[in-house]
Amino acid sequence: MRVRHKPWAAEKLAEYPEYAITDLIDLKGKWQSAFKKKGPLHVEVGSGKGQFIVGMAKQNPDINYIGIELQTSVAVMALDKIIEAELPNVKLLNTDGGLLSDYFEDGEVDRIYLNFSDPWPKNRHAKRRLTHENFLDTYRKILIPKGSVHFKTDNQGLFEYSLASFSQFGMVIDQVWLNLHDSDFEGNIQTEYEEKFSSKGQPIYRVEAHFPSK
């Protein structure tokens, strides 16, 4: 995602601590205290401009959501959507999604969303894919027993790789969609990328999988 650098973005994030969490030191293992009421904790790794995480928070007010976005100039666009919606059940972290175990205690998260992640198509970059076994091991640790991963992409190669990676890691594949928008799936919240790719007629792939009990 190429976005024009916004030198003021970090300062704006700091101005809204009720939505954008910048001090993570005391929240590991205590994320429920960051929300007005307790509820299942769902995390999106790579939340982009925030359309998905805000849409999910609106749709499910009893679930607490955390969107993680590394690029500050992108995260601030997600912040604008959260501010406008005034949602009490969504927080934004401007940090590296590869460091989840630094921010979340083992068994603290109920579900992880991976939406239109960078496919890193070259084999030598496989370890950077968010469905590589190294990332899956981190997800397994921070998720509750039988915690789930919901994954969407337009990239067939990444989808096939991810299915194999989930299976080889011992995950249980619950459901698979080879063309999400041509299915009877209800309640789908689209990302900005999803709208772009589907408008061109590209199929959207989706999979739900969970880890067996620890």
| 86 annotated ligand-binding residue | no
Residue reference for tokens 């805000």: 54
| 108 annotated ligand-binding residue | no
| 192 annotated ligand-binding residue | yes
3-state DSSP: the chain helix, strand, coil percent, rounded to 5? 40, 20, 40
| 191 annotated ligand-binding residue | yes
| 122 annotated ligand-binding residue | yes
Is 184 designated active site? no
| 84 annotated ligand-binding residue | no
Burial class (CB in 10 A: 0-12, 13-18, 19+), 7: exposed
| 44 annotated ligand-binding residue | yes
Largest CA distance in the chain: 45
Strand order in the sheet with 64-68: 20-21, 90-93, 64-68, 41-45, 109-115, 143-153, 205-210, 172-177
CA-nearest of 22, 38, 19, 34 to 87 is: 19
- 62, 118, 137, 182: which is the annotated catalytic residue? 118
Q: What is the DSSP letter of 8?
A: T
| 15 annotated ligand-binding residue | no
Cα–Cα distance measured from residue 154 to residue 179, given in angstroms and rounded to the nearest whole number: 9
Annotated binding site for S-adenosyl-L-methionine: 44, 69, 96, 118
- Which residues contribute to the annotated binding site? 44, 69, 96, 118, 122, 154, 191-194
Q: Please state the residue numbers annotated as binding site for substrate.
A: 122, 154, 191-194
Q: Mind telling me the catalytic residues?
A: 118
